[in-house]
Amino acid sequence: MNITRHHWHWSLTRSTVPGPMLRIAFVLLLLAACAHAPAAPSPAGEVLATPPALAEARASWVSSTVRLARAEVMRGRFERARTLLDAALDRATAEGDATGKARLGAELAGVLAEESFYTRTDADRGLQLAQTAQAAARGQGALGVEAVAVHAEGFLRYGERLWAESKDFKIPRERFARARDLFLEAGDASGVAQETFFLGLTEEQEGKLDRAEPLYAEALRCAEASGDRATQAYALRHLGGVAESRGDLDQALVLQRRCLALREEVGLARGVPYALIAIGDLERKKGALADARTSYARALALADEVDSAPARFWSRFGLGAVDEAEGRLASSLEHYQAAQQAAEQLGSKSWVEESSGAAEKVRQRLRTARGGG
């Protein structure tokens, strides 16, 4: 405000005003200005050390740690996620933060479940953490935390059966159903979508696509409603697989490309190679071998970047199939052998058999081409 325009009029010239009166007038001018000035803002991010403030700060720190760890998992950086959560869990334990300890334990179990699925390591520790977190969360009435821990156990059980090439997924299905109920009760729509998707996975692994497909469709609807693009991408990936199984390659390709776009949008780096592999498989089946080669090659580069042995296996296998179809037998054999090495690293008997069989078929063609009978 321009105070010279408000209420101030002197009948005497400045030279005739006594010094004391000028000082008084100056003080009054300052007071008037201050009366119309806005109040000084309170300190931003004021730090309080009261018990409620400390509890709130600790909970915020736990949430930030969890969010960062989840982001690392999405990028395929499992070791970084484990390091973050292990250190936070130790701190929560030392400080007697039972609530934080339960949540961090559940999250760490989830990280170990995902890592175990892709690398076949640390499953036992993951199960122990998941069960401990479940018990703690039940005692605290923390439905969301319990749901995360139950899901982690289900994922670990699912991975065990998948790698053992079992056809009985009853136990993980029960865990995913329980996690879905807990997420529903907690009001977590994204969690409900995730568990619905995993229920579909258990049906698919038992060969029941007629039961898996509606679960994937429901998971997609729930994920779209909640804005969960990662789960949308997973549902689209497997709906594409169902369409492919029916021979609808065009629809399958549309769904797989939507999956790829979503995974790239959210930074789900560890999932991008699998979307590219699915696209490459469809392009190869449609006879677009050059496009398939591009998709597989990109998938392989990303698989190496995130150190994903399963994605490396399927990328190499796809490249071997493209080379074989184009008559590039030496290159095809090289890719099939690399795929076999990845399968042996993972300990997958069926993948070893599939890749070694493909390699032997190419060797026979090479021998025939060289006149070796």
Question: Degrees (nearest 5) of the Cα angle 361, 293, 280?
Answer: 90
| More confident position, 200 or 117 | 200
Q: How far apart (Å, rounded) are the C-alpha atoms in residues 77 and 69?
A: 9
Q: How many CB atoms lie within 10 A of CB 7?
A: 8
Identify the pLDDT of residue 289.
98
Structure tokens at 185: 């009760």
Nearest CA to 137 out of 128, 123, 127, 148 is that of: 148
Tens of pLDDT along 209-252?
999 999 999 999 999 999 999 999 999 999 999 999 999 999 99
From the centroid of its chain, how far is CA 353? Answer: 31
Identify the pLDDT of residue 372.
59
Which domains are seen in the chain, by residue range? 271-373 (1.25.40.10)
Q: How far apart (Å, rounded) are the C-alpha atoms in residues 284 and 318?
A: 8
Structure tokens at 345: 């690293």
Q: How far apart (Å, rounded) are the C-alpha atoms in residues 61 and 52?
A: 14
Tens of pLDDT along 98-136?
999 999 999 999 999 999 998 888 799 999 999 999 999
Mark out the alpha helices in the chain (DSSP H runs). Answer: 19-36, 51-74, 78-94, 98-119, 123-140, 143-163, 170-186, 189-205, 209-226, 229-245, 249-266, 272-285, 289-305, 309-325, 329-346, 349-369
Q: How far apart (Å, rounded) are the C-alpha atoms in residues 198 and 151?
A: 9
| Residue 352 vs residues 323, 333, 347, 363, 368: alpha-carbon distances, Å | 19, 14, 8, 16, 24
Structure tokens at 48: 């309080």
| More confident position, 47 or 170 | 170
SS3 270: coil
Q: Quick one: pLDDT band at residue 143, thresholds 50, 70, 90?
A: very high
